[in-house]
A and B are shown apart, each in its own frame.
Chain A
């Protein structure tokens, strides 16, 4: 069947659409009627006839890696539920999509909610969950309504509820809206929030809520995109799915490009099949007129920034080879080898009109605002980083402030309960590492900044 897309929304020839097949498609709507017309929920029927263990094995075979940011293999995560468990198992869909630069889940939950629901029912069947929650960010009020409507439609058609399609399997899905806190994207913070508390991430171990999660019971937390991939894995079979993409980086993933390119937007590509050159020049139309690319944040604002004129040594020992920034494929492993990460797929592009001090300042403000305040290094450090970067940005800093900023970042990194510490410190570390000269260039030895607190304190000192 031929698919037509809305004007200006046609997929680029480099794309391979699975998850986004119906996004911005002509004649598509989020109703179950439309979804059923194209074999919707057929895969569910097939999966329910299978043994849950076989479903998990199929996902393991597919090599699917979580699309939320960490890239952890989904099938392996499912396998962490203790075999002798007697408590109820919960499945949670993480739809908190809050990493700056990422906007893929938005389209799925607004335009294709039944794909997510089908993926959740299959996943719940695999892990043995009879209650599932969709934790959706507060900033998607419309999607919460769309999803609740879709859930009701699925119930009316017996794809949800009791004895689904006569298989004897029961499942209820509920919507739980967050309240605009970034930290709820961290899975144990999300669980605390779902329990009605402040979303302070939990102490590890246990490293995975699959051991102890929601209400102290085994819980699987998966990203929206990951759960949608489950539908396609079961439809195609793990063996077939793994052929997409590159070894250890199978399947497709959605790249979200924003910032200084001619045509920003979403692109679903086979993992590792597209390089930065292809993505930014061919698919996004290159830099704006008269501008040149300067730097790229490859996987959401917490991933380390890369300079466009850098080259990297990728691989180990004799296999190591030099690679230009532009030749790097956007997969999990190569980006990690280049010192950054694929993260959530949010590619933020900056051209030569951007001052790095301004970019840095914008990012430190975000993390200072979003730190939950549980761990001291992060709570205090993120605010200090904001204050120091304020000075660098407005030109009142001294060159040693750049060193101070770097020191603060390294004192947060690795010293907190959750990965927010790294998320706030990495961009600062990388920005200073790659653009130190530019940042120092905006400072001056002659500056003598004094904070309000210090001026107050000095009033009480007789000699300074």
Chain B
């Protein structure tokens, strides 16, 4: 260890330090190690979600008002049956992705109720739907903005200025991306709920960089000076 390493502060609370040095419990219960910094914060934390609840939970967002809440309509039922028929009778599970796409297209995101519905429709356990939803970046579990913008961040687009484009879009739409995380929470939404942004990985149009998808519309050569024009083009839509 190099000599200029700061000497760590001795924790004020001796009991916390003792706890970390004593042998870990051997009865299999994983009691979390108390951390010195925790000793001050003893206020009531919000009720913790179980792992399952956390995985299916849809956080409330300002974009919600633009999407209907999940309901099984005749149209959805019909479309779902059509998709299921694409696969052999004993392989209904294959239709998980198409059904989730149908749900997300109509209701904006995948809610816990829709997971149950898809599972029931395909005669599989809901966990088999949850594992798919949580794996693919293409499925979201909270409502995006009315206009969801996916900006490509991979090499060619980054060289073409996609990071600048993202900054500009955030500036115009007043979006704060500081809490976004590419794995856990890639989508950032404007307070008004009209816009949301997300960095996407390679949209396969590297020759016309930088590119982005606005809902289902593809736009190429969107340098940051065209950001305003892009958003304006949706004003009347």
A interface with B by C-beta (< 8 Å): 97-103, 105-106, 131, 137-142, 174, 176-182, 193-199, 215, 256-260, 264-266, 297, 301, 346, 348, 350, 354, 359, 362-363, 365-366, 369-370, 372, 448, 456, 458-462, 464
Q: Which A residue sits closest to B156, measured CB to CB?
A: A258
Q: How many whole Å from A444's CB to the nearest CB in chain B?
A: 13
Those of B134-190 within 8 Å (CB) of chain A: 135-139, 150, 153-156, 158-159, 182-183
- Which of B2, B95, B156 interacts with A196 by CB under 8 Å? B95
Known contacts A178-B97, A179-B138, A179-B139, then 10 further A-B pairs from the complex at CB < 8 Å, ordered by chain A residue: A101-B206, A102-B204, A139-B200, A139-B213, A142-B218, A176-B86, A178-B136, A181-B138, A346-B206, A459-B36
B45 within 8 Å of A (CB atoms): no
Q: Which B residue sits closest to A145, measured CB to CB?
A: B216
Question: Is B97's CB under 8 angstroms from A198's CB?
Answer: no
Q: How many whole Å from A24's CB to the nearest CB in chain B?
A: 12
Question: Is A97's CB under 8 angstroms from B154's CB?
Answer: no
Question: Is A448's CB under 8 angstroms from B206's CB?
Answer: no
- Quick one: given A100-B156, A180-B200, A350-B159, are A264 and B207 in contact (CB under 8 Å)? yes
- Which of A137, A141, A348, A462 interacts with B204 by CB under 8 Å? A137
- Which of B97, B128, B201, B207 interacts with A103 by CB under 8 Å? B207
Q: How many whole Å from B95's CB to the nearest CB in chain A?
A: 7
- Quick one: given A174-B86, A196-B96, are A103 and B204 in contact (CB under 8 Å)? yes
Tell me which residues across on chain A come within 8 A of B135, comparing CB atoms. Answer: 181, 198-199, 372
Q: Which B residue sits closest to A445, measured CB to CB?
A: B2
Question: Is A363's CB under 8 angstroms from B200's CB?
Answer: no
Chain-A contact segment, one of B3-11, B51-59, B70-78? B3-11
Q: Report Cα–Cα, A351/B132, bound state, in Å.
A: 41
B1-44 toward A: CB 8 Å interface, digit per residue (1/0)? 11011011111000001001000000000000001100000000
- Quick one: given A103-B204, A182-B201, are A258 and B137 in contact (CB under 8 Å)? no
- Quick one: given A258-B209, A265-B207, are A179 and B100 in contact (CB under 8 Å)? yes
Q: Which B residue sits closest to A350, measured CB to CB?
A: B159
Q: Report Cα–Cα, A456/B16, bound state, in Å.
A: 14
Q: Report Cα–Cα, A348/B157, bound state, in Å.
A: 11
Q: Report Cα–Cα, A259/B180, bound state, in Å.
A: 27
Tell me which residues across on chain B come within 8 A of A301, comparing CB atoms. Answer: 154-155
Q: Report Cα–Cα, A132/B47, bound state, in Å.
A: 49
Those of B182-237 within 8 Å (CB) of chain A: 182-183, 200-209, 213, 216-218
Q: Report Cα–Cα, A140/B124, bound state, in Å.
A: 28
* Of listed A137, A139, A265, residue having the most chain B CB within 10 A: A139
Tell me which residues across on chain A come within 8 A of B46, comparing CB atoms. Answer: none
B103-128 toward A: CB 8 Å interface, digit per residue (1/0)? 00000000000000000001010001
Q: How many whole Å from A338's CB to the nearest CB in chain B?
A: 21
B68 within 8 Å of A (CB atoms): no
Q: Report Cα–Cα, A301/B152, bound state, in Å.
A: 15
- Per CB-CB distance, the 6 closest pairs between chain A and chain B, nearest first, are A179-B138, A179-B136, A180-B138, A258-B206, A196-B96, A196-B93
Question: Is A260's CB under 8 angstroms from B159's CB?
Answer: yes
Size band of the interface chain B makes with A: 35 or more
Tell me which residues across on chain B come within 8 A of A138, comparing CB atoms. Answer: 101, 138
Give 21 CB contacts A-B under 8 Å: A100-B155, A138-B138, A142-B216, A178-B138, A179-B97, A179-B101, A179-B136, A179-B137, A179-B138, A197-B131, A199-B135, A259-B206, A260-B159, A362-B153, A362-B155, A362-B158, A369-B182, A369-B201, A456-B35, A459-B9, A460-B20
Tell me which residues across on chain B come within 8 A of A196, comparing CB atoms. Answer: 93-97, 122, 124, 128, 132
Tell me which residues across on chain B come within 8 A of A265, comparing CB atoms. Answer: 207
Tell me which residues across on chain A come within 8 A of B138, comparing CB atoms. Answer: 138, 178-181
Question: Is B207's CB under 8 angstroms from A460's CB?
Answer: no
- Quick one: given A100-B156, A103-B205, A369-B183, are A195 and B1 in contact (CB under 8 Å)? no
* Of listed B88, B122, B154, B155, residue having the most chain A CB within 10 A: B155
B69 within 8 Å of A (CB atoms): no
Tell me which residues across on chain A come within 8 A of B97, comparing CB atoms. Answer: 176-179, 193, 196
Q: Report Cα–Cα, A265/B137, bound state, in Å.
A: 28
Q: How many whole Å from B191's CB to the nearest CB in chain A?
A: 26
Tell me which residues across on chain B come within 8 A of A193, comparing CB atoms. Answer: 97
- Which of B17, B139, B206, B208 interacts with A460 by CB under 8 Å? B17
Q: Report Cα–Cα, A340/B173, bound state, in Å.
A: 43
B91 within 8 Å of A (CB atoms): yes
Question: Is A177's CB under 8 angstroms from B206's CB?
Answer: no
Tell me which residues across on chain B come within 8 A of A460, comparing CB atoms. Answer: 11, 17, 20
Q: Report Cα–Cα, A247/B17, bound state, in Å.
A: 72
Tell me which residues across on chain B come within 8 A of A195, comparing CB atoms. Answer: 91, 93-94
Question: Is A100's CB under 8 angstroms from B154's CB?
Answer: yes
Question: Is A366's CB under 8 angstroms from B201's CB?
Answer: yes
Question: Is A181's CB under 8 angstroms from B137's CB?
Answer: yes
Q: Report Cα–Cα, A460/B87, bound state, in Å.
A: 57
Q: Report Cα–Cα, A216/B158, bound state, in Å.
A: 41
- Quick one: given A102-B204, A139-B213, A177-B97, are A348 and B156 in contact (CB under 8 Å)? yes
Question: Is A176's CB under 8 angstroms from B204's CB?
Answer: no
Q: Report Cα–Cα, A259/B128, bound state, in Å.
A: 41
Question: Is B202's CB under 8 angstroms from A366's CB?
Answer: yes
Tell me which residues across on chain B come within 8 A of A260, comparing CB atoms. Answer: 159
Q: How many whole Å from B75's CB to the nearest CB in chain A?
A: 17
Question: Is B96's CB under 8 angstroms from A258's CB?
Answer: no
- Quick one: given A101-B155, A179-B100, are A458 and B204 in contact (CB under 8 Å)? no
Tell me which residues across on chain A come within 8 A of B203, comparing CB atoms. Answer: 139
Q: Which A residue sits closest to B136, measured CB to CB?
A: A179
Q: Which B residue sits closest to A96, measured CB to CB?
A: B204
Q: How many whole Å from A176's CB to the nearest CB in chain B?
A: 7
- Quick one: given A180-B200, A215-B91, A464-B8, are A256 and B207 in contact (CB under 8 Å)? yes
- Which of B8, B137, B158 interacts with A180 by CB under 8 Å? B137
Q: How many whole Å from B200's CB to the nearest CB in chain A?
A: 7
- Quick one: given A100-B202, A459-B11, are A176 and B155 in contact (CB under 8 Å)? no
- Quick one: given A139-B204, A196-B96, A458-B8, are A101 and B2 in contact (CB under 8 Å)? no
Q: How many whole Å from B124's CB to the nearest CB in chain A?
A: 8
